[in-house]
Chain A
Amino acid sequence: MLSIKNLEARIGEKQILNGLNLEVKPGEVHAIMGPNGSGKSTLASVLAGREEYELTAGTITYNGEDLTELSPEDRARKGLFLAFQYPVEIPGVSNANFLKTALNEVRKSKGLPALDSKDFLILMKERMKLVEMDKVMTQRSVNEGFSGGEKKRNEVFQMAMLEPSLCIMDETDSGLDIDALRIVANGVNALRNKERSFIVITHYQRLLDYIIPDVVHVLYKGKIVKSGPKELALELEEKGYDWVKDLVEA
């Protein structure tokens, strides 16, 4: 589904990714952990198509297609979804109107007819339950005045509405208390299936208590330096990132 080979990327003069390799198959959950500044969020941004990053080497192939050639909206239409670390507040655009526009553009690109208001509301009502959203939140402006937990729930709600095939979660656990973390993780787990893949980017292990990964990768200085089963996350939590640094530099 996703194949990243020898990826190098920089922003301005600063080289951040240094030959990153990653293979994600349908239905897999990959956790990417790493210390601050290791390139975790850059990877998420590059995958979603942020234009401020320059790719200097390597390839990203998504379902057989060169992902780097696609605009952010085309990536989304082809099933890629980024759950933002810092979801953006958009005053004046209601959550419902935003999602309806997005969903219908995605549907249009797939040759599907637009959902009318009634069908959209039915779908929305159903998916709201996954993250315990209430109706008022859908009527408010996108993320405006939302708490940290509400913003992250809204990200997962959008994911549930758009039904992507590859979900990239950028530090979704940051700023969440334990209840909010549980709600968000439950939403994600409900969306797991044989086709849908996840890349869960996190600094801490605690999110992975709720979203159990198939593989854990450690990112350091812009490349993956160690991969292993879910127990690797526990080991990291216990020994700290210095252990990885020592490992690499030894």
Chain B
Amino acid sequence: METATAIRITDPSANMLNDLSAFISGLKNDPFRIARKEAKEHFESLGFPTTRHEEWKYTNVLPLLEKDLQQASLPVSIPSGSETISGLDLSGGIVLLMVNGFLQPIPGGLPEGLTIKSIRDAVNDPMFVKHFDKYADKKDDAFAALNTAFVNEGIYIEVASGRKIDQPVYIINHTSVVEDSWTNNRCLIVSRKNSQASVEWLTTSSGKGKCASLINAVTEIAVEENARLDFCILQNDLDHVSQVCNTYVNQERDSHFNINTITMGGLLVKNKLHLMLADQNIETHLFGLYMGSGKQVIDNHTAVFHAKPNCFSNQRYKGILDDDSTGVFNGKIFVFQDAQKTNAYQSNKNILLSDGATMNAKPQLEIFADDVKCSHGATTGQLDDEALFYLRSRGIGVENAKALLNVAFAADVIQNIPNEILREYILNLIQNKLVKEA
């Protein structure tokens, strides 16, 4: 008995497996039985990653996991969508709300061609069956495995062939923290042939005290032939809320996918983004902005797989790091042997605002085709002194001048968000974060 207790305290993976077994035994008529069983086995062999794991070298989740987090329950009082994100006008969009991983009622009156369901109600939909759990790398990623092993609630979105949905779909993932806890978020988006839509994934949180909280999110996205999807992730959690956010995208021929990943708040934020460009003539843009302060750790790992010829991918990530925050960017581009005439670009630029801030940038290219154009570049520095002097020489005070330059540096990345209301909202967040001392 004594040994068992000792394990419970020191081995978060073993604890999690115990909790998982208890969770599974409580389920009845489980529609995800097969996926869950596989995922559990993967997690059993993987366990939680340590900093010895290459992908987690600078991002240590163990101190958080050692707090023996419990799966969060649905809070007694449920906020409305707009209460979770004040200042953002949601009225022009379709608002879906997940609270602590529990899907709240889906609004009625959806536009024609847009299907939104709980994943539990979608298990017999042919497109759900075709794409669900097909892209998440649960064999290699403990959090993806765990997310699948605990899958129960989640959102399924399908945009019908040939449909253009004008209203943005907001998915608000709200964490209400009342104890040391974790939540599981799951989503599948299928953009069918020739369709077009925008989906905004927002994470917010509330809660008194400083309870530890970890969000484990997995989103799979399938963009079919000639479809276009704009996807924006905005993470603005409290400074005691952490998250692991894994996003997997599979693009088919002639499709177009844009993603913006904006990280403002949160304690430890680990984003993994995998893009499979599975066929020809695909266009993909990946933009990222992270603004760390305090003791934040913001880690972005991207991987773009060019499998076929004539595709274009462009990634641009920017960071501004203040105080004792840490940024990590690891961008991988794989160009397969078949993928001739690939154009793949990557850049990562960072500004450090304090001596305590750290940036770890690592671009990786693996190219197996011979007729390709690829480039990457990473820079980390301070503000441009010449530009600062220029602004000051026109009468602009030094703090204002710095803020102006930093806002310009950051705002450059968000220009591509098509949803103007969201873009303006993010611009405000950027300004508020940078102009605080002025």
Residue on A nearest B395 in the bound complex, by CB: A76
Contact B404 A71 (CB under 8 A): no
Contact B408 A90 (CB under 8 A): yes
Q: Specify which chain A residues have a CB less than 8 angstroms from the CB of B124 in the assembled complex.
A: none
Contact B390 A91 (CB under 8 A): no
B391's contact among A90, A92, A162, by CB below 8 Å, is which? A90
Contact A101 B396 (CB under 8 A): yes
B433 vs chain A, min Cβ distance (A): 16
Contact B395 A88 (CB under 8 A): no
Q: Specify which chain A residues have a CB less than 8 angstroms from the CB of B397 in the assembled complex.
A: 73, 105
Q: Number of B interface residues, CB 8 Å?
A: 22
Contact mask for chain B residues 390-409; partner A; CB cutoff 8 A; 1 contact, 0 none: 11111111101100110111
Q: Specify which chain B residues have a CB less than 8 angstroms from the CB of A166 in the assembled complex.
A: none
- In the complex the two chains form, what is the Cα distance from A71 to B398 in whole Å? 9
> A26 interface residue, CB < 8 Å from B?
no
Contact B394 A48 (CB under 8 A): no
Residue on B nearest A84 in the bound complex, by CB: B390
A77's contact among B387, B391, B395, B404, by CB below 8 Å, is which? B395
Per the 8 Å Cβ criterion, residues 89-107 of A in contact with B are 89-93, 98-99, 101-103, 105-106
Q: Specify which chain A residues have a CB less than 8 angstroms from the CB of B409 in the assembled complex.
A: 92
Contact A105 B396 (CB under 8 A): yes
- In the complex the two chains form, what is the Cα distance from A87 to B394 in whole Å? 12
Residue on B nearest A52 in the bound complex, by CB: B385
Residue on A nearest B398 in the bound complex, by CB: A73
- In the complex the two chains form, what is the Cα distance from A38 to B384 in whole Å? 28
Q: Specify which chain A residues have a CB less than 8 angstroms from the CB of B384 in the assembled complex.
A: 88
Q: Specify which chain B residues have a CB less than 8 angstroms from the CB of A98 in the assembled complex.
A: 391, 394, 396, 404
Q: A76-B395, A92-B411 are in contact. Are A105 and B400 (CB under 8 A)?
A: yes
Q: Specify which chain B residues have a CB less than 8 angstroms from the CB of A156 in the assembled complex.
A: none
- In the complex the two chains form, what is the Cα distance from A71 to B386 in whole Å? 15
Contact B392 A76 (CB under 8 A): yes
Most A CB contacts (10 A, CB to CB) among B387, B396, B407 go to: B396
Residue on A nearest B397 in the bound complex, by CB: A73
B391 vs chain A, min Cβ distance (A): 7
Contact A102 B398 (CB under 8 A): no
A50's contact among B389, B400, B401, B405, by CB below 8 Å, is which? B389
Contact B386 A88 (CB under 8 A): yes
Q: Specify which chain B residues have a CB less than 8 angstroms from the CB of A84 in the assembled complex.
A: 390, 393
Contact B390 A87 (CB under 8 A): yes
Q: Specify which chain A residues have a CB less than 8 angstroms from the CB of B395 in the assembled complex.
A: 73, 76-77, 102-103, 105-106, 109, 162
> A222 interface residue, CB < 8 Å from B?
no
Contact mask for chain B residues 357-400; partner A; CB cutoff 8 A; 1 contact, 0 none: 00000000000000000000000000010110111111111101
- In the complex the two chains form, what is the Cα distance from A93 to B404 in whole Å? 7
Q: Specify which chain A residues have a CB less than 8 angstroms from the CB of B391 in the assembled complex.
A: 90, 98, 102
Q: List 10 A-B contacts (CB under 8 A).
A: A71-B392, A73-B395, A76-B392, A88-B389, A90-B405, A92-B407, A92-B411, A102-B396, A141-B408, A162-B395
- Give chain A's interface residues, CB within 8 Å of chain B: 48-50, 71-73, 75-77, 81-82, 84, 87-93, 98-99, 101-103, 105-106, 109, 141-142, 158, 162
- Give chain B's interface residues, CB within 8 Å of chain A: 384, 386-387, 389-398, 400-401, 404-405, 407-409, 411-412
7 tightest Cβ-Cβ pairs between the two chains A and B: A92-B408, A76-B395, A102-B394, A88-B390, A72-B392, A106-B395, A73-B392
